[in-house]
Amino acid sequence: MKKTMWLVALLIVIIGTSLVVVSFKSGDIETPDYKVVKTLGDVEIRQYPKMVVAQTSLTDRSFENQGSIGFRTIAGYIFGGNVGSQKIAMTTPVVMRMDDSSTMYFVMPKQYAKNDLPKPNSNNVRILEESEKTLAVIGYGGFSSDEKIEKHRKKLENILLENNINTKGAYMYMGYNAPWDVVNRRNEVAIEVVE
């Protein structure tokens, strides 16, 4: 009898987990359209269009210390923490600028112009336009940490130096998965390229 109960409980957990994974596949979430203009080994040089973002400031550039705080702040905005309690679709990636005045932003769905979006209830959320830009991007899988981000940042920096590619601004971490996604996780480190 106990064995049967354990098997039923295990089956329920497996089915529940499968449903969550299937319902939150990152392939179903809008991502900005970009054009790959060049590939340098593991690095892609991408052109990104102008985007509207919801951004918050962070107290430091540590992904481990600030990532979930920034995520919750902006998620509150898109899940109805705004004038009119309007829900806004989640998009990917979530972007964290890794400099001394670190910020995190969600790209807003492309159907919205800046003035179409509701005003945030929180003073910690700002709606901004990111201009068109060209980014050098390197990707990796698994769960992110400050150590993994730094490892890939250094790898990206070395490849760009070897290819005499100039950059500007801060490095960025870009995450594409919900926190509960366990498999097929997509992470990237990027920096703007001077053309």
**Residue 136 domain flag:** yes
Percent of the chain at pLDDT > 90 equals 69
Question: Higher-confidence residue: 175 or 16?
Answer: 175
**Helices 146-162 & 63-78 angle (0-180, nearest 10):** 100
**Total of domains in the chain:** 1
Q: What is the CATH classification number for the domain harbouring 88? A: 3.20.80.10
**Residue 170 domain flag:** yes
> pLDDT (tens digit, 9 = 90+) per residue, 113-156?
999 999 999 999 999 999 999 999 999 999 999 999 999 999 99
Separation CA 74–CA 53 (nearest Å):
10
Confidence at 45, pLDDT banded by 50, 70, 90? very high
**Residue 19 domain flag:** no
**Does residue 160 register a pLDDT over 80?**
yes
**Residue 10 domain flag:** no
Angle (CA) 102-44-35 rounded to 5° is 95
**Does residue 195 register a pLDDT over 90?**
no
pLDDT attached to residue 5: 59
**Both tokens assigned to 114:** 């800046």
**Residue 75 domain flag:** yes
**Residue 81 domain flag:** yes
> Does residue 80 contact residue 121 with C-beta atoms inside 8 Å?
no
Separation CA 195–CA 191 (nearest Å):
13
pLDDT attached to residue 131: 95
Confidence at 18, pLDDT banded by 50, 70, 90? very low
**Residue 1 domain flag:** no
Domain extent at residue 150: 26-193
> pLDDT (tens digit, 9 = 90+) per residue, 87-112?
999 999 999 998 877 899 999 999 99
**Residue 186 domain flag:** yes
Please give the average per-residue pLDDT across 49-69, as a whole number.
Answer: 86
Separation CA 63–CA 59 (nearest Å):
11
Buried b (16+ CB within 10 A) or exposed e, 9-36: eeeeeeeeeeeeeeeeebeebeeeeeee
pTM recorded for the entire structure: 0.81
pLDDT attached to residue 4: 66
